[in-house]
Chain A
């Protein structure tokens, strides 16, 4: 019988190891020390950024429909969420500018995990003209309020702000003209333009075998359908259908084009493959891959993460595309995640994010593994940038 008594009894079978409070105290000391170090580093970054770009107001109800689209951000421009705020920065992580100033995760007191403004996934539209991020229901410390999506230009000027249901990713269509989000979780998907006007609402089939499982809608590469969990929803009104596993390979492991468009890199069964853009002349250049390939601006190198020598260790490696030689740049701590953010515009350094102890940090490092520099510690590990090509 599953009742309170039996579940309590089952929970009592797990005994917390001795010294738990001591471990907690040590962890608190370590966190406070890191915070002091971070405060010093961040002070320098903020001083550099002062006066670069004005922080725009985030309260806006949208823009006239006939207004021309905003200018795109420079290739490689970085956007990330941290503790209730949204930031943009230069491709090397410098000139950090806060474009949305929200309540911190702490101030939200549990009502806005991640803080008032947060993001999970690619905030940037593919053309680099827009950012999309979420606002949480953290309008007070006592109760949850409305939540939804903010769309801004690359400088942080808010173009639209609209209420939505629970969700995480905000997926831009491949042509940057629309975003898809849950209007009501697991029930209806809304498709919105950058002006915040809803263009369509797609019902999600209420069939137990197609449970959405907390997944957000993705666009297919051609922009004609949305996919959720295992189901493709054609936008032309066609019937939803359950796609075969090969379909998901294309969605989750897309072919990444080199900056000049002549080649593609992709992962197939944990091997990194580089081929001509038409798929011919494919070469398997590296195994044990765990991340997605990231091209250097000049297209001669690829940064990627791979399984390391130790158990659950991830390494950052760089591949010389011409020779196929692979070099180790750095290795992550055991059990921590490590993700490539991108190269600097000169291609001599790599930005990467790594997470451990419940916090995330953004680093830059020379492609030869030298001179690692901490750029920022954040609460969310989502760093995204405008594509190079």
Chain B
């Protein structure tokens, strides 16, 4: 299911908690599959993707009265989820330097790699590079916006996209 690109209708003011929860559940149902799919592509791990997704939704739910009144709650959801991804990614990098143990990597991209050329290409990229691609192509952010979200330069985001497209071209040119 695709996320509506505009504002998700929120009817919360003056309504009961139950109605607010119902409104949030509707928003969740409308947006979760696309966010989950995008995060799976970024992280390569279903478990990690659902963790980040749930953290993001929890943050929105806890302040749903304010978020639902925003012009673009879906955009805020993506921003929150990408902040979560970036925070985890950073923490993992630091931990790696310190040799702290982590859940063993599960490469869920590998399971469907053979069936999808995009997945095959994304699998060769780092999580940060994958995040650049997903933010700019799937979620419609400009390189500048994606750069701000990921804490990298817009030029780096563009370089990631170029690298992925070069990978796609090389893949198409490979003899089968």
Question: Chain A: residues with CB nearer than 8 A to chain B?
Answer: 1-4, 6-17, 20-21, 23-24, 27-28, 31, 106, 109-110, 113-114, 120, 144, 166, 168, 185-186, 214-215, 252-253, 267, 270, 289-292, 305, 307, 311-314, 334-335, 337-339, 358, 381
Instruction: Quote the shortest CB–CB distance from B98 to chain A (angstroms).
Output: 6
A106 / chain B contacts, CB cutoff of 8 Å: 59, 62-63
Please provide the 7 A-B residue pairs with the shortest distance between their CB atoms, ordered closest to farther: A11-B37, A14-B40, A10-B118, A113-B83, A335-B103, A7-B138, A16-B36
- Give chain A residues whose Cβ lies under 8 Å from the Cβ of B168: 1-2
- Taking CB atoms and an 8 Å cut-off, the chain B residues in 114-150 that contact chain A are 115-119, 121-122, 128, 133-134, 137-138, 140, 148
The reply to whether B137 and A305 form a contact with Cβ atoms under 8 Å apart is no
Contact A10:B122 (CB < 8 A) given known A267-B99, A305-B100, A307-B101:
yes
Q: Flag if A358 contacts B133 (CB, 8 Å).
A: no
In the complex, the answer to whether A13 meets B115 with C-beta atoms within 8 Å is yes
Chain B residues numbered 71-94 whose CB sits less than 8 Å from any CB in chain A: 76, 79-80, 83-84, 86-87, 90-91, 93-94
- B105 CB, min distance to chain A CBs, angstroms: 10
Q: List 19 A-B contacts (CB under 8 A).
A: A1-B165, A4-B137, A8-B2, A11-B38, A13-B116, A14-B112, A27-B54, A27-B58, A110-B80, A110-B83, A186-B156, A215-B93, A290-B98, A291-B98, A305-B100, A312-B101, A314-B101, A334-B103, A339-B100
Cβ B51 vs Cβ A358 within 8 A: yes
Give bound CA distance, A309 to B50, whole Å.
26
Q: Is B12 an interface residue (CB 8 A)?
A: no
Chain B interface (Cβ < 8 Å from any Cβ of A) = 2, 25, 28-29, 32-34, 36-38, 40-41, 46, 49-51, 54-55, 57-59, 61-63, 66, 76, 79-80, 83-84, 86-87, 90-91, 93-95, 97-104, 108, 112, 115-119, 121-122, 128, 133-134, 137-138, 140, 148, 151-153, 156, 161, 164-165, 168, 172
Which residues in B have their C-beta under 8 angstroms from that of A2?
118, 121, 133, 137, 161, 164-165, 168
Distance in angstroms between the alpha carbons of A109 and B152 in the assembled complex:
20
Q: Is B90 in contact with A168, judged by CB distance below 8 angstroms?
A: yes
Q: Is there contact, CB below 8 Å, between B98 and A252? A: yes
CB distance from B103 to the nearest CB of A (A): 4
Q: With a CB–CB cut-off of 8 A, which chain B residues contact A6?
A: 117-118
- State whether B151 touches A16 (Cβ < 8 A): no
Closest to A211 in B: B156
Q: Which residues of B contact A166 (CB under 8 A)?
A: 151
State how many angstroms separate the Cβ of A105 from the closest Cβ of chain B.
Answer: 8
Q: How far is the CB of B86 from chain A (nearest CB, A)?
A: 7
Q: Tell me the bound Cα distance from A334 to B87 in angstroms.
A: 20
- State the majority secondary structure of interface residues on A: loop
B-chain residues with CB within 8 Å of residue A28 when the two chains form the complex: 58, 61-62
Instruction: Give the distance to chain B from A148, nearest Cβ to Cβ, in Å.
Output: 15
Docked complex Cα distance between A168 and B55 (Å): 22
Nearest to A215 among chain B residues (CB) is: B93
Whether the Cβ atoms of B29 and A337 lie closer than 8 Å is no
State A314–B99 Cα separation when bound (angstroms). Answer: 11
Task: A11 to B86: give the CA distance in the assembly, Å.
Answer: 19
Point out the residues of chain A lying under 8 angstroms from B134, CB to CB. Answer: 7, 11
Look across to chain A and name the residue whose beta carbon is closest to the beta carbon of B149: A110
When distances are taken between beta carbons in the complex, the residues of chain B under 8 Å from A113 are 83, 86-87
**Separation of A215 and B128 alpha carbons in the complex (Å):** 13
Complex contacts, A8 vs chain B, CB 8 Å:
2, 37, 138
Residues of B within 8 A of A16 (CB): 32-33, 36, 50
Nearest to A105 among chain B residues (CB) is: B59
Complex CA gap A214/B46 in Å reads 25
Judge whether B50 and A289 touch: CB under 8 Å: no
Q: With the chains together, A307 CA to B83 CA distance in Å?
A: 29
Residues of A near B55 (CB, < 8 A) are 358
CA–CA, A7 and B61, complex, Å: 28
Q: How near does chain A come to B17, taking the closest CB pair, in angstroms?
A: 13
**Contact partners of B28 in chain A: CB under 8 A:** 21, 24
CA distance in complex: A217, B57 (Å): 34
